[in-house]
Chain A
Amino acid sequence: MKSANRAKRLLKSMGLSLLIPCATLVIMLVICAAKGVPFWADQGGFRAFLYSVGLSLFSAFALGLHLFAGRFDFSLGSVAVLAGVISGKIATALGMNSFAMLLTFLVVGAALGGISGFFYLLFNLPPMITSLGVALAYEGLSYGISDGKGVNISLVPKLLGGAGISQMIAIMAAGLAVMYILLNYTRFGFNYRAIQFGQKISVDTGLNERSNALVCYIICGAFIAVVGFFRISFNGSQSAQLNLSTSASIFGAMLPLFIGGLMTRFCEQNISIVLGCITYAIITQGLASIGVTAQQRSLITSFLMIIILMYSTNGAKIKEWFMKHSAAKSAAL
């Protein structure tokens, strides 16, 4: 009986979790069919879809890990770019293959994330402020060390293998598994959640908040470096950017994170982020297929973000209003 109930609950949660992505897919397929255009034109379209999911997934993992802990890190985008420039240069100089380049990205990203975390711990100021300085420095470095040219690996075919369909799926699955285990089955994850929901109590009971934050920065650095890896593998190059333009790529991960946030009550946080990223990619792919321009897509997704944010902060009030309204209606009857 108990196991039957459990299975029923599990099925219900799964159904509710998949409701938003499936409904979005159906809507987009219907719109595409009505317009007489295919959702994916060819295999290249599916690869681009996966690439989009991969970028937002690893950005959202890194951004989310900070956001849920009450931090916003402006430097994440610059870590991806600087890791791209450094690792790309190392990989071409040492004649590495794609897998070795991925490992280099992870190490460089983790180190850059660690440095960013070190400044946060040193200053103990709002991370938005410290990360602003770090982002400027990282952008300047990526521009300075590459003479403004960035890095180009398009002429080294063995370095471009990371953006194949199976490779991207494998990397995303590994990323999800690592994040799931880290947050649910390690001391780091336990402490992270304790601080997330009760910073003062956790610190007062002797939990080392500083080491937890530093590990957080290192993990986020490694995860965001994967974004750099996908980008360089898919496009064959990584350009250097200045004037905090790297932060724009991180803002793009906000909507998938918020869509995922709507599903957190039905499934585990990391899985909800994956579903959020898939939903986001379905929306953008669908809109692109029916000929909506990149600017219009950006406007639509930005409005969507505001609506979701509005619902997230006022959901309880809306429900209360509906309940009151229906109670008043039934009383009148």
Chain B
Amino acid sequence: MENILQRQNGGARRVNNIFKKLLPFAGLVLMGILYLFSTDFKPTAFHIQTIIDQVTVMAIMSTGAVFIFSLGSFDISLGVGAAVAVCLGIMAYNAGSGLPGMFAVCVVVGLVAGLINSTLSAVFKMPVFIMTMAMMSVLTAMLQILLDGATDLKIKSDIADPIKALDNQWLRLAFMFAFFVICLVLFNFTKIGRRNKILGGSPKVAEQTGISIAKQTIITFLISGFAVGIAAFLLITRSRSVSSNTGTSLGMDVMMAIVFGGMPLSGGAYSKISAGVVGSFSMVLLSQVLTMQGITTGWSQVYRAVLFLAVVFVASFSYREKMLSRAEMF
């Protein structure tokens, strides 16, 4: 009798796991169908270009952020970090660094931001969420100071040609694909991903199995910082400018994309590297559908919020506990 019950429970758990794995993809397919309906099943090259333009940056940042999420942490300074990297990248290019120099500046800024965040978190034991909030304030202020009161900063028009040549959606797609493959390998087939999942599942277990929490946190934030750097470079090739609003909502969008992509909210063993890409595509398709339906900006955000809450509600079925969810903030 006990064996039968155990088998039934095991079966239900398997079905539940398959459901959880498939749900984000089902959501993506649904968004795809809605999108096709909106374009009368005839998406133009412009439609596809718009989607690729919007998805690539978000997907790269989200994929990098999955590593942080898998630890059960959030970093909301990512968007502003990218904006600062864009700003310094443009400044370097305008000063004559050339394309490689600009790329290097973007990546180094992303890595330095990641290193600072991880050092504050791992060495000084500051709570990650609160610390990244403080970092967001620092980076926002830095961006405004770098802009020096101007509304935006642009690539000088007389030297913009090499960057214009890189304004190509296939190049962006290639960057996204390459970065995703690297992260897929790192997350699923190396010690880095395995240790992140253990650490996210239980820091105590991780410590007792000899995993260095500080080292792992630093590696995680550096990967995420590298993603920020690449995203910043692609942002420059796309818009060739930066304003104080660049990156304002990017950090939050990344967080939402990861949740849309089916990332377990607590991190740990069930974390999925695909969450960033799947969620980014779903979010961008949704935005496009709403735009094409003629829904105005404000109401479009309400629809997005309702859908987000609906997704979160479904996700909550596998997460429910007797007590309310809380976190140690200090």
A joins B in a complex: yes
Quote the shortest CB–CB distance from B253 to chain A (angstroms). 8
Interface residues on A, range: 35 or more
Q: List 5 A–B pairs whose Cβ atoms lie within 8 Å, in order of A's numbering.
A: A122-B313, A133-B312, A135-B305, A199-B323, A251-B133
Query: Is B252's CB under 8 angstroms from A129's CB?
Result: no
**Are the C-beta atoms of B329 and A70 separated by less than 8 Å?**
yes
Judged by a CB distance under 8 angstroms, whether B176 is at the interface is: no
A132 touches B319 (CB 8 A): no
Enumerate chain B residues within 8 angstroms of A175, measured Cβ to Cβ: none
Give the Cβ gap from B311 to chain A, nearest Cβ, in Å.
9
Taking residues whose C-beta sits less than 8 angstroms from the other chain, chain B's interface range is 35 or more
Residue among A68, A72, A119 facing the most chain B CB atoms (10 A cut-off): A72
**Contact stretch, chosen from A180-188, A277-285, A307-315:** A307-315
In the complex, the chain B residue whose C-beta lies closest to that of A127 is B325
Query: Is the CB of B320 closer than 8 A to any CB of chain A?
Result: yes
Task: Let me know if A140 and B301 touch, CB within 8 A.
Answer: yes
- Residue contact A72 to B248, C-beta cutoff 8 Å: no
Stretch with Cβ within 8 A of B (4 or more), from A24-32, A155-163, A225-233, A238-246: A238-246
Which 8 pairs from chain A and chain B are nearest by CB? Answer: A143-B298, A70-B326, A140-B301, A140-B302, A136-B305, A144-B298, A137-B305, A243-B249
Are A242 and B138 within 8 A (Cβ)?
Answer: no
Residues of A within 8 A of B300 (CB): 140
- Please give the distance in Å from A300's CB to the nearest CB on chain B: 8
Partner of B322, one of A125, A203, A294, A310: A203
Q: Of B296, B306, B323, B329, which is within 8 A of A209 by CB?
A: B323
B 290-310 binary contact with A (CB < 8 Å = 1; else 0): 000000111111111110110
* Given A132-B255, A137-B302, A296-B145: A314 in contact with B125 (beta carbons within 8 A): yes
A306 near B131: Cβ-Cβ < 8 Å: yes
Which B residue's beta carbon lies closest to that of A305? B134
Flag if B304 contacts A136 (CB, 8 Å): yes
Chain A residue at smallest Cβ distance from B314: A123
Among residues of A, the one whose C-beta sits closest to the C-beta of B308 is A133
A residues less than 8 Å from B74 (CB atoms)? 128
For residues 119 through 142 of chain B, which have their beta carbon under 8 Å from a beta carbon of chain A? 120, 124-127, 129-131, 133-138, 140-142
Where the two chains meet, the residues of A that have a C-beta atom closer than 8 Å to any C-beta of B are 67-72, 119-130, 132-137, 139-145, 148, 199-200, 203, 209-210, 213, 240, 242-245, 247-248, 251, 254, 261, 294-296, 298-299, 301-303, 305-306, 309-310, 312-314
Q: Please, how many angstroms separate the alpha-carbon atoms of A120 and B129 in the complex?
A: 19
Cβ contact of A245, chosen from B126, B127, B249, B299, cutoff 8 A: B249
Q: Give the Cβ gap from B218 to chain A, nearest Cβ, in Å.
A: 17
Contact in complex: B249, A310 (CB < 8 Å):
no
Q: How many angstroms between the C-alpha atoms of A126 and B74 in the bound complex?
A: 11
Chain B, residues 316-330, CB within 8 Å of chain A (1/0): the string is 100111111111111
Contact A298 B140 (CB under 8 A): yes
A-chain residues with CB within 8 Å of residue B142 when the two chains form the complex:
299
CA distance A241 to B287 in the complex (A): 18
What separation, in Å, do the CA atoms of A72 and B132 have in the docked complex?
13
Task: Knowing A203-B323, A299-B138, say if A242 contacts B301 (CB, 8 Å).
Answer: yes
**Docked-complex contact B131 and A309, CB < 8 angstroms:** yes
Task: List B contacts of A133 (CB < 8 A).
Answer: 305-306, 308-309, 312
Residue from B144, B303, B324 whose CB has the most chain A CB atoms within 10 Å: B324
Q: Give Cα A309–Cα B145 distance, bound, in whole angstroms.
A: 24
The CA-CA distance from A303 to B145 in the complex, in Å, is: 14
The answer to whether B305 touches A240, judged by C-beta atoms less than 8 angstroms apart, is no
Among B127, B135, B298, B321, chain A packs the most CB atoms within 10 A around the CB of: B298
Interface assignment of B214: CB less than 8 Å from any CB of chain A = no
Partner of A199 from B124, B301, B304, B326 at Cβ < 8 Å: B326
If A124-B325, A134-B309 touch, whether A313 touches B145 (CB-CB below 8 Å) is no
A92 to chain B minimum Cβ distance, whole angstroms, is 20
A125 adjacent to B305 (CB under 8 Å): no
- A314–B301 Cα gap in the complex (Å)? 41
- Asked if A298 and B137 make an inter-chain contact with CB atoms under 8 angstroms apart, the answer reads yes
Known: A144-B299, A203-B323, A213-B324. Contact between A137 and B306, CB under 8 A?
A: yes
C-alpha gap A135/B76 in the complex (Å): 15
* Complex Cα spacing A247 to B304, Å: 17
The residue in chain B whose Cβ has the minimal distance to the Cβ of A243 is: B249
